Chain A
Amino acid sequence: MQDAVSAGRRHGERSAPYQPLAFRGALIIAGKESGELLLSKRGLLWLLVMSLVLSGFALLLISNTELGLLENAQVVYDMVGLVTSLGALLTLVVGADAIGGEHERGSLVPLLLAPLPRSALLLGKLGGQLIAWSAMLGIALPYLWAVGSTGQNLAAGIACLIILGTPVVLTFGCLGVALGARLLSARSALTIGLVVLILAASPMILGPGLRRTAIGVAFDWVNPFSAVLNATDAVVIDSEPLLTQTVPFAIALAWMLIALWYARRSISRLTGSPQ
């Protein structure tokens, strides 16, 4: 070991006053989260799995288009729905791991002991989810181009994905964070989050007839997934302007804010122990 006295002298010389680091701290944590996604084996494996699923689905869609079974607009709509679902799954996984996983690995306590407000920790974790969603979009764009470049609705589909998809994806990311903070277990948080995700994404597999019933309509009104899919349907297939889809966007945004509030409340109650 080096001379501890000299280290102590240097220690004494540094007179960095404590400054609130809320936003800067959030950026630092977001940077760490992106490293975890892009540099760790686990994060890269998730991105690889997403790529494989998109490859398989894109192949199916292209085959159907070649056979004349699906229109180009329908293909783009299906692809946007799938990418949104996969994005929600990815942020749910990242969110559940953000607090629950870190607690299980023992790395949460040092973070909680840093001089940061809990809101900065939450912002940093959400920043990591945004980076994960951006990575997902980056992977999805070539596939979207591959299936939709021959039509005229590709740009509208991409716009729907970014503008309408982002609140839905972050809703599930916040849910993962909140459940992880409540249960302090990534696995439990992920299990519950997946059940909610499957229920919310069920309109994707419901037929149009069922969705037009009273229950289907009511479900559509409260479900962010339905709201986004209906809006995407209107924009990509019916060629309506995106600006007319304010209500579905507001529904998705409201759910995101509710999930954000729940995550913030869950993180602020987090105690932990130096063990």
Chain B
Amino acid sequence: MTGLANGRSEVLVELRSVEAWRGGATILRDVSLTVRAGEIYGLIGPNGAGKTTTLAVVVGLLAPTAGGARTLGLDPLGQAEAVRARTGVMPERGGFYDWMSAFQYLAFFARLYGFDPPLVEIGERLAHVGLSAPPDQPIGTLSHGMRQRLGLARALINDPSLLVLDEPTGGLDPRGRREVHELLLTLSHKCGIGILMSTHILDDAERLCDRIGIIAGGVTVAEGAVPELAKMGRDLEAPEQGGGDRYRLRLADRGMQSASKRLPAGVSVLDGEGDWWTVALASEHPPEMVWRELMSLGWPIREIQRLDSRSTNSNLERLYLELTKHTERQRAA
């Protein structure tokens, strides 16, 4: 494998301040990212942020209007055929030929990439991604999850050095998701393939990715290793908002106007809307005592949930929400 042979530091994708224009609108304004061999890079961002357009630039389907793009050390547009020969792509909407069987479909793409694998190898490749359809079963009869796996098998048919995946686990059940996770981790960390994937499932990003780029409004707003970004998320918790444990309280829908103004010492309200309120407790105050005091002050508490502020996922989520909130507000406006 390329990645193992040349070491994990080989740069497979490099975008520098890329701008891209499509359909009369500027979609990418300043996107930069670097994907190395043997790593999984997650591109996360809200809908319409430019994730798919970024992938289109990487695989040479769209020319950047400014900035620089290199894929596998080559110009993805000028040397498109050489780039595509070593790249596997799984689009979010993997269109298939419903009249073909999965075997015929994979054999068709294998031939387009210059291979002519025997039927046994096609079967192995389908089994590799967890698809065990009969050789003559038309694709039209496969479930969404099975089609997703077939799309992954197609992306891997040329034994790529770089895998570009757009929402690879969308539509999969939890077991299927876990299996795809394991496959991607093995392909990346043991086989040395570099994987660039877009997702808006933060759990996928946290489980799979070595590094993450957060994109909002066509701009890369954060990039780094998952622990680094999680730390940034953790640091977003302002001390005055309570650096201790956080809890979600479900309140009966009465008396909150007056109750919200009366808080015992060591408690701060982080968020309050409708029935659910988020509060932070200073570490020196035992929660049981605080709940009793709050109820005595008129807080109609019905349910208490502890939020784990130390989990990577919640910290990533906090960072993601913070960095993308302006874009979401603009969209809402």
A: residues with CB less than 8 A from B are 1-2, 4-5, 7-8, 11-12, 14, 16, 18-21, 24-25, 28-29, 32, 35-36, 39-41, 102, 105-117, 271-275
Contacts and interface: CB of A to CB of B under 8 A. Distances in A.
B114 interface: yes
Interface in B112-158: 112-115, 124-125, 127-130, 154, 156, 158
Contact of A115 (B56, B84, B92): B84
12 contacts: A1-B183, A2-B128, A11-B159, A24-B114, A110-B94, A115-B81, A115-B114, A271-B56, A273-B56, A273-B61, A274-B55, A274-B166
B179 interface: yes
Contacts of A18: 81-82, 85-86, 114
Given A5-B191, A113-B59, 10 more contacts: A1-B127, A4-B190, A8-B193, A18-B82, A19-B114, A36-B99, A107-B95, A113-B84, A271-B61, A274-B55
Contact of B94 (A21, A32, A106, A111): A106
Contact of B99 (A7, A21, A39, A272): A39
A117 B56 CA distance: 17
Contacts of A16: 114-115
B2 to A, nearest CB: 9
Interface of B: 1, 22, 52-53, 55-56, 59, 61-63, 80-82, 84-87, 89-100, 108-109, 111-115, 124-125, 127-130, 154, 156, 158-159, 164, 166, 179, 182-183, 186-187, 190-191, 193
Nearest to B5: A12
Of A4, A16, A28, A111, chain B has the most CB atoms within 10 Å of the CB of A4
Contacts, number: 141
A116 B81 contact: yes
B158 to A, nearest CB: 8
Closest 4 CB pairs of A and B: A106-B95, A107-B95, A8-B191, A4-B186
A11 B172 CA distance: 25
Contact of A110 (B53, B91, B114): B91
A214 to B, nearest CB: 44
B97 A114 contact: no
A20 B81 contact: yes
Nearest to A8: B191
